[in-house]
Each structure stands twice: as C-alpha cells, then as structure tokens.
Structure 1
C-alpha cells in the first residue's frame, strides 16, 4: 500500500474513532476514548452495536483492520444505519458485536417505523398537492377558454357595431344629399307652378 494511501486510511480511521466515541457518549452517556472504541465490543465495554443487515459486515472485524472506504461508511452511517446500544446482563465475551434488526430493543426499530410513518405522510401530502395542482391547472384552463370565447364574442360584436356605424354614416350622407337636392328642386317647381300656363295656341 502506498504512503499516500496509508495517510488517507489513517486520517479516516481517526475521524471514524472520534465519531463513534461521540455517538456512544451522546447516545448512551458512556465516555469512551476514541482510541478505545471497538466494533467487536465486550460486556466490559458496556455497549453493543445494532446495525441494519446491509451494514453488519462492518462489524465482522476489528476497527483497526478496516479500509478507508469502510471508515467512510462507518462515519456516514453512525446513528442512521447502525447505533450503539447498552449491553445487557446477558452480554459476554464472544457474543456477536451487533444485534440484528428485529431482535433489538425498540429504540432503533421505533425510529425506523417513525421515519416510515413520516415518509408515508409526506407521500400522502405530495399526492394531495399534486391533485390540487392538477385541479388548479384544469380550472385555469377552463377560465382561459371561457375568457377566450368571451373575448372573441366581444371582438365580433365590436366589428358588427363598427360596420353598423359605417352604414349609418353612409345612409346619413345619402339622406343629406337627397335633402339638399330637394331643397334646390322645390323652388324651381314652385316657380314653374306660379308662371302663366302654356297651351297649344300659346300663352294664356
């Protein structure tokens, strides 16, 4: 193994020991120095590890024997995929260093169940919001369609009104011209009516 790899591995091992020590103290109130943290603990240590099945392989060997990748997994999973639990009076040297999910006290299982309930609730809320959003979209589309129809009717009505105004102006202009024509013709007709009549023999 290269010198750089050893440095990287040592850095993650130190970080892992510190995080596990902090977790044990915070979770159980047991003060364990980082250098004394064990993955394969004993009754004298006062704690055991409880892990999800996919993480139980991390507890199959001593902490000092792991790779940098395993240290990273331990740092990321502490308190989430595995946790420290207080050793019972039945704990003894040689006992498994971890307790499988399903046989442990209720804290870890309760937390998983709690997270599942929260996840189900959030899923329901998400589905409700999605339904409300779809209903809102449909409503807005319906309103927009109705508005478009109304706008089209208003536009058509306005066009008809404008055409009617133009026709009214045209007929008004014709009426005015007729009126002016009659005004010129009537005096002529009156003048003719007032003039002496003309017969076959000449003027009367």
Structure 2
C-alpha cells in the first residue's frame, strides 16, 4: 500500500510530509553543526598539543558525525514538527485545511508516519553505521592523534576490543564462569571497511574462546 493511499487527501499529505522533512533536515543540519563546533573547540587544545594534521582532524570528525547525527535526530524530529506546524499556522494553512474538512488527526498523521519511518531509519543507522564509525573515530583520536596504543574501551554499553583488523563488542563478562555475554565480532578488510559480522549470545573460555 502506498503512503498516499493512507489518506483521502494524498496531495495534502504529500505537502505536509514535504514541509516536515524540510524542517527536520534543516534542524538536523543545524544541530549537527553545533555539535561538531562544540566538540571541535572542546578538543582544540588537544589537537594543538599533539600537533594533529588538519586531514587527521577532518577524518576524526567525519567518523564522529554518524554518532552525533543519531543523538541529534530525536530533537531534530520534534523541533522540525513544531517548526513545520508553526509555519503552516503562521500562513493560515492550518485554518485552510480545517476549512476543507481535515481533522487535526488527518493533519498530524503524515507527520507521525514520516517520524515513524525516520525512527526506523535512525535505528538501522545506529546498528549498521555508528558502531564502526564511532570506534574508528576513537582509534584516530587515540592512535593517530595522541600516538598511544589502542586496545579496549569500556563504556555504558559494554566493552570494545580492537584486534588485528577486527573489533569485538561484549555486553557483559561473567568472571565466575569466564563467559562473554552478547558477543559481536566485526571483521574489517584492508580498507578498514566491515567485511563480516558475527553475533553470539555467549562465548566460553575452554583453552580459548
């Protein structure tokens, strides 16, 4: 079923959807730019201290951007919805739509459906792109900028370990049974792109994992 068929006013639905998406991407670009600027000035002394090349700094922020996009998307969706509705109301378009017989639900439905699609897209982006790009940015910051060895990283989502052309992510380690829980293995090719992905609910130590 096509999106337009969900509404008796397909042209109006398409217009409302377009206005929402325009506001969403405008807000997303604005929030991303602000986040990058804040991160840049927060790390400026560090870049100067380690004499980081401009190309390395640029690569760091390129790989950091997917995470910032994910973090900014919910606020951008909310702000975009409010902005698009505000502009429609300012130009009396909301009143015109009500005069044509559209209920508040029919006006809001294209925005809600678009937001649902965006949420699914952000979820897929967060699962497929962010883990690799985030830890690539950490690798650049640790190894290429600070000139330090890069191995593992603990955070609130578990433990990351960087081996030879491979990333390991473990959600939890049970020291009593030597068991890894929620293991994900990202194998990289020579161009540092994800070549394969292996997931296991558990891994046991029996002379090796």
Q: TM (normalized to structure 2)?
A: 0.20
**Greater strand percent: which structure?**
2
Larger radius of gyration: 1
> Larger relative contact order (C-alpha < 8 A, sep ≥ 6)?
1
**Greater helix percent: which structure?**
1
Q: TM (normalized to structure 1)?
A: 0.20
